[in-house]
Amino acid sequence: MPETIGFIGLGIMGRPMAGNLLRAGYPVVAYNRSPEPLEQLTREGAQPARSAREVATRSDVTIMMLPDSPQVSEVMDEVLAGASPGQLVIDMSTISPLVARQLAERAREQGVEMLDAPVSGGDVGAQQGTLSIMVGGDQAAFDRARPILEALGKTIMHVGDSGAGQVVKACNQIVVAVTIEAVSEALVLGSKAGVDPACILDVLGGGLAGNRVMEVRRRNFLEHDFTPGFRIDLHHKDLNIALESGDAYGVPLPATGLVQRLMETLHARGQGGEDHSALLSLAEELAQHRIGHATPTLST
């Protein structure tokens, strides 16, 4: 008999992930703050609950997919109020590694195991069940979670003790953010100096400068299409997590700090809902040049 899975947080990521668990044959008890996605998932076969506490009471394993550390901490209070010893909680949200460690410690005091298991791969990965999942926590808890996570992702790695999954996710977000900024600056310089930006991406892609950002966001850069994808505001939150962790461990992260300020600027300009490739628009404004045009014009 498969374990009953509780699922809390049915947003862009959580709703399709919960759908994949249902399709893999797991009974799912679900809760979301706003009712619409819960109604949709109930039509797909999930059992609705009226609170996070009720989810924990009716499940063997509870998964959370919530925006940030405050929401996860708040929901965890409710989950622990409903959970019995021997339960497993898997937090798949992207939150602070320090908070993840504290929550796992609190859970353990109550006989509840907790894993941090943030993901990369975006909404498409969530829909197709091809997420990369980086897991921190106890080995036995990981072994128990593995078949469940296999319904959600393709690359599933146990990367260390509690909090380690969130540390690896922060590392991932640093590399993606700094790479988008580097590609944006290169495109603006090359284009303003008279070279076709598509040509720059082609040539750079064949050498040491080649990277997945240039492949996956190529069309966004060249067509100035900043429809998300991954929103500036969420990436800004993730860079704050990276910088807080840097403070805690004495790691300065200067390039991360710079890109965090640029994302802050985009948020203040009302572009927080755009894709993170919109960093290009700021690089263009600083240079007074829109890529792909011989004469300086501005998009904003």
Which residue's CB is nearer to ligand NAD, number 154 or number 296?
154
Which residue's CB is nearer to ligand NAD, number 16 or number 137?
16
Under DSSP, the state recorded for 276 is: G
In whole angstroms, give the CA distance from residue 129 to residue 220: 24
Active-site residue (options: 154, 169, 192, 237): 169
Which residue's CB is nearer to ligand NAD, number 152 or number 253?
152
Supply the minimum distance, in Å, between the C-beta of residue 247 and ligand NAD: 20
Answer for the pair 262, 181: CB distance below 8 angstroms, yes or no.
yes
Supply the minimum distance, in Å, between the C-beta of residue 36 and ligand NAD: 9
In sign, the C-alpha dihedral spanning 80, 88, 172, 11 is negative
Q: Is 169 a catalytic residue?
A: yes
The tokens for 189 are 């310089």
The tokens for 298 are 């501005």
Which residue's CB is nearer to ligand NAD, number 13 or number 167?
13
Which residue's CB is nearer to ligand NAD, number 22 or number 30?
30
In whole angstroms, give the CA distance from residue 293 to residue 144: 55
Contacts of residue 242, Cβ cutoff 8 Å, sequence gap at least 6: 170, 171, 173, 174, 253, 256
Ordered alpha helix ranges (H), the chain: 14-23, 35-43, 52-58, 69-82, 97-109, 122-128, 139-150, 164-192, 197-205, 212-216, 218-223, 232-249, 254-268, 279-287
Q: Identify whether 137 is preceded by a cis peptide bond (ω within 30 of 0).
A: no
Which residue's CB is nearer to ligand NAD, number 13 or number 278?
13
Supply the minimum distance, in Å, between the C-beta of residue 296 and ligand NAD: 34
In sign, the C-alpha dihedral spanning 153, 157, 159, 162 is positive
Supply the minimum distance, in Å, between the C-beta of residue 26 and ligand NAD: 19
Q: Which residues contact ligand NAD (rule: CB under 6 A)?
A: 8-14, 32-34, 37, 52, 65-67, 71, 74-75, 93-94, 119-120, 122-123, 230, 234
Helix axes 164-192, 232-249, angle to 10 degrees: 120
Supply the minimum distance, in Å, between the C-beta of residue 176 and ligand NAD: 10
Q: Which residue is nearest to ligand NAD (CB)?
A: 11
Supply the minimum distance, in Å, between the C-beta of residue 155 and ligand NAD: 14
DSSP 3-state of 17: helix
Catalytic residues: 169
